[in-house]
Structure 1
């Protein structure tokens, strides 16, 4: 045990060695990364913060990958729950404050920030991310009718002016 901690023998330390990722995990990343990033960007406000949050979420998913694959009845819903917890729940309070500050007098972001979590998710993915019902359903791990329900309930909570702003914003994204 005479080796010094900092001694360089030309080999990479174990902590830096890349670990092989399961093929299914890599596919999950490719299929979901953009939608998760869209949501994180809308919630966190900056690209760097969004990338860090999505990275943390995928590390969490990878940490539990074997258990998720073996025990999950609905893998997509479980994964969305991890991403949601990592991205949304951690910043929900500050998001609502930031959304109010971002608003240019219409009150739209404050109104979105006051929605229940699932309604908020659906509205952000649909109107800010520009995703359709089928993709939102897949991302959240719920049925398309559940997505439509949450969207309808969220629109009912919003004022007519906010609904018009969202409608025009969605038409611009289309």
Structure 2
């Protein structure tokens, strides 16, 4: 579909028309990668104060098409309409482009379809690389982010995809992150959400089965009987870790499964060092009470 000519924007400071009906919630069938760019776009749309009708008029696309895109209903949106909305809402196109491509593949679109969409829109505005401080942030935190993702995701490609998506979302929302109370905490929440949306869950808790078996493999135990006993013990331990509250779970994973010291964990999570030590101590006491109820609390996990 070819969009209608884009009408001129009203002068700065001119109030928009009467408030119209806001778009409904994102459809249940929208995939992880699709949500990664759709949710920030919807947030920027809400903050803009525009109505769906005004967004339609300024982008040059039919209101029904704009409404479908904002809700994630209908067919996966082509890049032409997506880019038009980005331009109206003043959203950087390059990070969304990469997220859009990943979501297109998630929607089983062929490479020919993706390339055909992209070739119709030339990105001539905005930088093709993240800001310098974002790139420094990525270099600093990528190892910890990858380690965390690999703990929950069975395949390395999936872990790398989750981390790459997190950094693209941060590029998209970088100014929001910088103006948040703590950029590290803001970024960690983005990364954690992406990892948990991909992780397997049992009874609503993340499944750490893969991490448990990795522990067994690394133990290099020669005795089959001992190996089976270690498997049983590891499974029980990792199931209990998966049921910890979010902050305690993250501290345990980074501190004991990824080998980071307390200060490094506090830095990457964006929380005080005292909070990390408290979470670690409380989590260990809880795990000891669950796995070894006869033992005194406060033991260290091997």
TM-score bracket, shorter-length normalisation: 0.7 to 0.9
Structure 2 spans left out of the alignment, 5+ residues: 1-118, 214-230, 293-297
* 1:33 corresponds to 2:142: yes
Note the C-alpha offset of 1:101. Answer: 9.4
CA distance 1:55–1:73, change in 2 (3 Å): same
Q: How does 1:1-174 map to 2 (within 5 A)?
A: 14=122, 19-69=128-178, 71-91=179-199, 93=201, 96-99=206-209, 102=212, 104-106=231-233, 107-159=236-288, 166-167=301-302
Output the CA distance in 1 between the equivalents of 2:210 and 2:136: 37
CA distance 1:64–1:120, change in 2 (3 Å): same
Deviations 1:87-136 (A, max 9, x none): 13552625744528945100111111111111110000011110000000
Q: Report the TM-score, using the length of structure 1 for normalisation.
A: 0.78
Structure 1 spans left out of the alignment, 5+ residues: 1-10, 168-174
CA distance 1:164–1:156, change in 2 (3 Å): closer
Equivalenced residues, count = 157
Moved over 4 A (4+): 100-103, 160-165
Deviations 1:135-169 (A, max 9, x none): 000000001110001111110111276887833xx
Deviations 1:58-115 (A, max 9, x none): 111111012222x212111111111111113552625744528945100111111111
The answer to whether the Cα contact below 8 Å between 2:152 and 2:211 also exists between their aligned partners in 1 is: no
CA distance 1:56–1:152, change in 2 (3 Å): same
Output the CA distance in 1 between the equivalents of 2:138 and 2:211: 33
Cα RMSD (Å): 3.1
CA distance 1:120–1:92, change in 2 (3 Å): farther
CA distance 1:144–1:60, change in 2 (3 Å): same
The SS at the match of 1:14 is coil
Deviation larger for 73-82 or 95-104: 95-104
- Name the structure, 1 or 2, with higher relative contact order (CA <8 Å, separation 6+): 1
Larger radius of gyration: 2
CA distance 1:109–1:29, change in 2 (3 Å): same
Q: Give the structure with the larger helix fraction.
A: 1
